[in-house]
A and B are shown apart, each in its own frame.
Chain A
Amino acid sequence: MSLDAKIPGGPLAEKWDRHRFELKLVNPANKRKYDIIVVGTGLAGGSASAALAELGYDIKTFCIQDSPRRAHSIAAQGGINAAKNYPNDGDSIWRLFYDTVKGGDFRAREANVYRLAQISNLIIDQCVAQGIPFAREYGGLLANRSFGGAQVSRTFYARGQTGQQLLLGAYSALARQVAAGKVQLFSRREMLELVVVNGQARGIVVRNLINGDIERHDAHAVVLCTGGYGNVFFLSTNAMASNVTAAFRAYKKGAYFANPCFTQIHPTCIPVHGATQSKLTLMSESLRNDGRVWVPRDPANKKPPSQVPDSERNYFLEEKYPSFGNLVPRDVASRNAKEQCDMGKGVGSTGRAVYLDFADAIKRDTKAVITKKYGNLFQMYEKITGQDPYETPMMIYPAVHYTMGGLWVDYNLMSSVDGLFVLGEANFSDHGANRLGASALMQGLADGYFILPYTIGGYLAGTEFSEVNSDHPAFKEAESQAQSRLNTLLSINGKRTVDDFHRELGLIMWEHCGMARSNEGLEKARTLIQALRTEFWDNVTVPGAEKDVNQSLERAGRVADFLQFAELMIVDALARQESCGGHFNEAFQTDENEARRDDENFCHATAWEFTGDDHEPQFHKEPLVFENVELTQRSYK
């Protein structure tokens, strides 16, 4: 079955304007009659809650942390793109659109990406009005920088803390609406079930993480802004609490999951130090502008870097890609680092790292110049590793960073369940098979501030609602589902901890469904995951009580969902018999080891429908039609 994305007709540049005019409006006096649930308070959830409340809707906002200011959007370092063309260097809405579609390896929807590029400019205006302290030039105008290999300077930034500042802006707008009585805030709540009544999303069931109570909340529409699923790999740059549960529970209630195998691996992370590592830390990829990546030519050479002369070093990116060198895109740099380590040339105590060397840059530009550019990153590196990157090369290794896949949504950001909207990293819509730097922040805020407030109005105004409250049998059933899962998890009393299972799952996924995939490896991973899942439900131990703060129980529920979701990723990766962006199947590569797409057979988004716990998911596809860009093959030689 083909999915209808409800893309408006007309020329690309006029679609959004036309659609906004065609959408039905909710009368201002009627807006307060609608309740909307927003789950998650990152850039997407925070901005959506604030913008909807400003319009007059009654909002209930939920977050897993103790405060809506802490969602993982806060950790984004680099910046946010916009097509302002302030530097007069040739940027335009069209160029930002084109770069994003091409960067996504032609697996995103043209109309969505164009709208994103259009809205990018409004976001910067809004954020400045909110008081975001963006970097400035001496004359007081906003500063821009080039980021992630873009040929124009379109990235706005607030030191290395752009995500933090944008999130605090959305949080402050949300706080204002809490004070105005338009948003009711429920922090330390975890969504455990979606409630669907007569085919419409009408509420959620959450667990209060302080006293363990299961709560029911009803509404006219539900908005999921619950982020990505990178923690399926156990080690990732995601926050510890980031999880797939809310999205996966919605999937089980009928929302299709699109392109789950599209994950992004970031090349410049601090390597794993040992088996007790709990998460990975990203360092801005701007480091590759001046650092040179190398490993010893001879795998047997285990001398400290200072004793390895240039002739014994293999600057593998510079040698293999003479024109782009160390600046090849994220996926290419990552795959090559892994390849070197697989050949036994990795460095450091675990052998899973490559050097990123600044010695030449310091010699050329002086230490002062390098400090000005990267001082905070060098400091961060030293804090974590105890090594001084001015004296000895950094060690880096790729890590899972972002997931492009997510719940399938149409042009209105509505999933395949009526009234269930999905925003930000949790949806699949804008980044295709690979996300470009500084565009995640842009998408989260575009969805929340400027798209949903229009499209949800169209849905509410055009929909008949029956009287449903939280006493409805569907709520009772959802609550009992959630309750019985918790009871089961607490009663297994096995011998392995939740983290132990999670770590093993992560290793399987990293090995077989990470940077490079093969059909054989994916099949093997599928068997391993099934066995691990069976063992989990027999042998996990979850201490503590249900009606209490119980962080082990919280994690157990999330890992249980990861164990099931991981298999869906494998199924998706196997179904896509091509390589594109972050999905690299070794059987499909060009002579230059680049991802080789198969546009004839796979120019579509895959969307999976849940059909039962022991059944194969149902395959659906949304064909992607490119009317405005020509599909090309990347090359970085």
Chain B
Amino acid sequence: MTNAISLTLKIWRQKSPHDKGRLETYPVKEISTDMSFLEMLDVLNEKLTLDGQEPIAFDHDCREGICGMCGAVVNGRPHGSAKGTTLCQLHMRHFSDGDTVFIEPWRAKAFPIIKDLVVDRSAFDTIIQAGGFISVNTGGAPDANAILIPPDAAEKAMDAAACIGCGACVAACPNAAAMLFTGAKISHLALLPQGRPEAARRAINMLRTMDELGFGNCTNERECEAECPKEISIVNIARMNREFLKASFVSEEK
């Protein structure tokens, strides 16, 4: 049912990485409950623009929950309170008339704030570059059906591969750990026969890079799993730890 609600927004404004930043208050009126959260921010930005103020900078792109570009901490929760939902797929019907809504960027040492709600997540790319791939050049691959993969393994690999790299896991974790993100990629590839030859090297290199980039460690808080918009399981962290231990003890890769 379409309704219109009014809200008080408390939004983090920060001019640049070195600016101190602060929460600013913005009232918004007549917000249709059919709108998405980002459309609500669009409405505010249109108003700010016409009032001669600078709109709020926020990242977004596909607006259908798959690109992983959007994300903000809403009332203390990454991507807001709806389960398994990215910010762009959070709809205003989850809010009530008169609510005060706090909107802040991801906060983590490894994700420096660029402006307002926009953060730098290039550390995730760096982790993938450390080994989140299978080393095959283009051409010369065997026939696709030459490698048999039990559907169960393919399904588990797909569960892990569904990660959209949004960074909510890092934002949710009290240690700002990237274990769920890294574990998902290591699991995806370790579960498939194609990924086994490099599994040890991958686990060691990706984990080392993750540490060097300033992400914290896992202390089993499970916040990442609770907030992940793709509901990636922390089983993937356990699997990563197994891969890492195996690699450390058994493998010649160091």
Query: Contact: A278 with B36, CB < 8 Å?
Result: yes
Query: Contact: A84 with B144, CB < 8 Å?
Result: yes
Query: Contact: A497 with B194, CB < 8 Å?
Result: no
Q: Given the known A-B contacts A274-B34, A544-B54, are A125 and B64 also in contact in the complex, defined by CB atoms under 8 Å?
A: no
Q: How many whole Å from A29's CB to the nearest CB in chain B?
A: 18
A149 at interface (Cβ–Cβ under 8 A)? no
Query: Contact: A551 with B188, CB < 8 Å?
Result: no
Query: Contact: A172 with B114, CB < 8 Å?
Result: no
Which of A47, A140, A548 is B149 in contact with, Cβ under 8 Å? Answer: A140
A: interface residue count bin? 35 or more
Residue of A nearest to B134 (CB): A131
Residues of chain A with a CB closer than 8 A to B145's CB? 84, 86, 141-142
Residue of B nearest to A453 (CB): B138
Residues of chain A with a CB closer than 8 A to B247's CB? none
Query: Contact: B42 with A161, CB < 8 Å?
Result: no
Residues of chain A with a CB closer than 8 A to B118's CB? 549
Q: How many whole Å from B187's CB to the nearest CB in chain A?
A: 11
Given contacts A122-B139, A172-B134, A543-B48, 11 further A-B contacts (CB under 8 A): A75-B67, A86-B145, A128-B194, A131-B195, A136-B150, A137-B151, A172-B132, A383-B85, A383-B89, A384-B89, A549-B114
A134 at interface (Cβ–Cβ under 8 A)? yes
Residue of B nearest to A86 (CB): B145
Query: Contact: A68 with B138, CB < 8 Å?
Result: no
Name the residue in A66, A165, A281, A497 with the highest tally of chain B Cβ atoms < 10 Å from its Cβ: A66
Query: Contact: A67 with B66, CB < 8 Å?
Result: no
A100 at interface (Cβ–Cβ under 8 A)? no
A384 to B94, CA, bound (A): 11
Could you give, for residues 140-170 of chain A, a 1 whenever the CB lies within 8 Å of some chain B CB and a 0 otherwise?
1110000000000000001101001100100
Query: Contact: B189 with A158, CB < 8 Å?
Result: no
Residue of B nearest to A379 (CB): B84
Query: Contact: A175 with B161, CB < 8 Å?
Result: no
A173 at interface (Cβ–Cβ under 8 A)? yes
Q: How many whole Å from A275's CB to the nearest CB in chain B?
A: 9
Which of A138, A178, A273, A548 is B35 in contact with, Cβ under 8 Å? Answer: A273
Query: Contact: A75 with B46, CB < 8 Å?
Result: no
Which of A179, A279, A449, A499 is B130 in contact with, Cβ under 8 Å? Answer: A179
A140 to B62, CA, bound (A): 33
Residue of A nearest to B17 (CB): A210
Residues of chain A with a CB closer than 8 A to B141's CB? 122, 125-126, 128-129
| Number of A-B residue pairs having CB atoms within 8 Å of each other in the complex | 218
Residues of chain B with a CB closer than 8 A to A112's CB? none
Residue of A nearest to B33 (CB): A386
Residue of A nearest to B85 (CB): A383
Q: How many whole Å from A113's CB to the nearest CB in chain B?
A: 22
State the interface size on chain B (CB cutoff 8 A).
78
Residues of chain B with a CB closer than 8 A to A548's CB? 16, 115
Name the residue in A65, A237, A385 with the highest tally of chain B Cβ atoms < 10 Å from its Cβ: A65
Residues of chain A with a CB closer than 8 A to B195's CB? 131
Could you give, for residues 27-63 of chain A, a 1 whenever the CB lies within 8 Å of some chain B CB and a 0 otherwise?
0000000000000000000010011001000000000
B219 at interface (Cβ–Cβ under 8 A)? no
Residues of chain B with a CB closer than 8 A to A549's CB? 57, 114-115, 118
Residues of chain A with a CB closer than 8 A to B82's CB? 383
A221 at interface (Cβ–Cβ under 8 A)? no
Query: Contact: B2 with A349, CB < 8 Å?
Result: yes
Comparing B120-128, B210-218, B232-240, the segment that makes contact with chain A is B120-128
A490 to B130, CA, bound (A): 41
Residues of chain B with a CB closer than 8 A to A84's CB? 144-145
A141 to B147, CA, bound (A): 8
A349 to B118, CA, bound (A): 35
Query: Contact: A161 with B66, CB < 8 Å?
Result: yes
Residues of B within 8 A of A (CB): 1-2, 16, 32-36, 38-39, 42-43, 46, 48-50, 52-55, 57, 59-64, 66-69, 82, 85, 89, 91, 93, 114-115, 118, 120-122, 124-125, 128-130, 132-139, 141-145, 147-151, 154-155, 157-158, 161-162, 164-165, 188-189, 192, 194-195
Could you give, for residues 231-251 of chain A, a 1 whenever the CB lies within 8 Å of some chain B CB and a 0 otherwise?
000000101110000000000
Residues of chain A with a CB closer than 8 A to B115's CB? 548-549
A74 to B64, CA, bound (A): 10
A140 to B59, CA, bound (A): 40
Residues of chain B with a CB closer than 8 A to A551's CB? 55, 57
Which of B2, B32, B57, B62 is A239 in contact with, Cβ under 8 Å? Answer: B62
Could you give, for residues 535-575 of chain A, a 1 whenever the CB lies within 8 Å of some chain B CB and a 0 otherwise?
00000010110001101100000000000000000000000
Query: Contact: B142 with A125, CB < 8 Å?
Result: yes
A241 to B62, CA, bound (A): 8
Closest 5 pairs (CB-CB, A-B) = A140-B148, A172-B133, A129-B141, A133-B158, A273-B34
Which of B49, B68, B150, B164 is A497 in contact with, Cβ under 8 Å? Answer: B49
Which of B135, B154, B164 is A135 in contact with, Cβ under 8 Å? Answer: B154
Q: How many whole Å from A155's CB to the nearest CB in chain B?
A: 14
Contact residues of A between 96 and 152, Cβ < 8 Å to B: 122, 124-131, 133-142
A172 to B195, CA, bound (A): 12
Query: Contact: A164 with B114, CB < 8 Å?
Result: no
Q: How many whole Å from B51's CB to the nearest CB in chain A?
A: 9
A171 at interface (Cβ–Cβ under 8 A)? yes
Residue of B nearest to A171 (CB): B128
Query: Contact: A281 with B64, CB < 8 Å?
Result: yes
Which of A67, A210, A278, A450 is B63 in contact with, Cβ under 8 Å? Answer: A278
Q: How many whole Å from A198's CB to the nearest CB in chain B?
A: 32
Which of A131, A175, A552 is B194 in contact with, Cβ under 8 Å? Answer: A131
Listed A/B pairs (26) with beta-carbon separation below 8 Å = A65-B69, A66-B69, A67-B122, A67-B125, A86-B145, A125-B144, A128-B144, A131-B134, A133-B157, A159-B158, A172-B128, A172-B132, A176-B129, A176-B133, A178-B125, A179-B130, A239-B67, A274-B32, A276-B39, A383-B91, A384-B91, A386-B1, A386-B91, A499-B42, A543-B52, A549-B114
Q: How many whole Å from A555's CB to the nearest CB in chain B?
A: 10
Residues of chain A with a CB closer than 8 A to B143's CB? 125
Which of A137, A178, A237 is B129 in contact with, Cβ under 8 Å? Answer: A178
Which of B48, B138, B154, B165 is A67 in contact with, Cβ under 8 Å? Answer: B165
Contact residues of A between 368 and 409, Cβ < 8 Å to B: 383-386
Query: Contact: B38 with A128, CB < 8 Å?
Result: no
Which of B64, B124, B125, B161 is A185 in contact with, Cβ under 8 Å? Answer: B125
Which of B35, B63, B151 is A140 in contact with, Cβ under 8 Å? Answer: B151
Q: Given the known A-B contacts A65-B61, A450-B138, are A499 and B129 also in contact in the complex, defined by CB atoms under 8 Å?
A: no
Q: Given the known A-B contacts A142-B144, A543-B53, are A158 and B120 also in contact in the complex, defined by CB atoms under 8 Å?
A: no
A618 at interface (Cβ–Cβ under 8 A)? no
A130 to B141, CA, bound (A): 9
Which of A65, A178, A499 is B46 in contact with, Cβ under 8 Å? Answer: A499
Q: How many whole Å from B105's CB to the nearest CB in chain A?
A: 13
A338 at interface (Cβ–Cβ under 8 A)? no
Query: Contact: A126 with B138, CB < 8 Å?
Result: yes
A289 at interface (Cβ–Cβ under 8 A)? no
Could you give, for residues 338-371 of chain A, a 1 whenever the CB lies within 8 Å of some chain B CB and a 0 otherwise?
0000000000010000000000000000000000
Q: How many whole Å from B169's CB to the nearest CB in chain A?
A: 15
A551 to B82, CA, bound (A): 27
Query: Contact: A133 with B138, CB < 8 Å?
Result: no
Query: Contact: B68 with A70, CB < 8 Å?
Result: yes
A518 at interface (Cβ–Cβ under 8 A)? no
Q: How many whole Å from B177's CB to the nearest CB in chain A?
A: 19
Which of B36, B85, B132, B157 is A175 in contact with, Cβ under 8 Å? Answer: B132
Residues of chain A with a CB closer than 8 A to B194's CB? 128-131
A72 at interface (Cβ–Cβ under 8 A)? yes
A127 to B39, CA, bound (A): 36
Query: Contact: A72 with B161, CB < 8 Å?
Result: no
Residues of chain A with a CB closer than 8 A to B158's CB? 133, 158-159, 165
Query: Contact: A126 with B128, CB < 8 Å?
Result: no
A538 to B110, CA, bound (A): 43
Residues of chain A with a CB closer than 8 A to B137's CB? 54
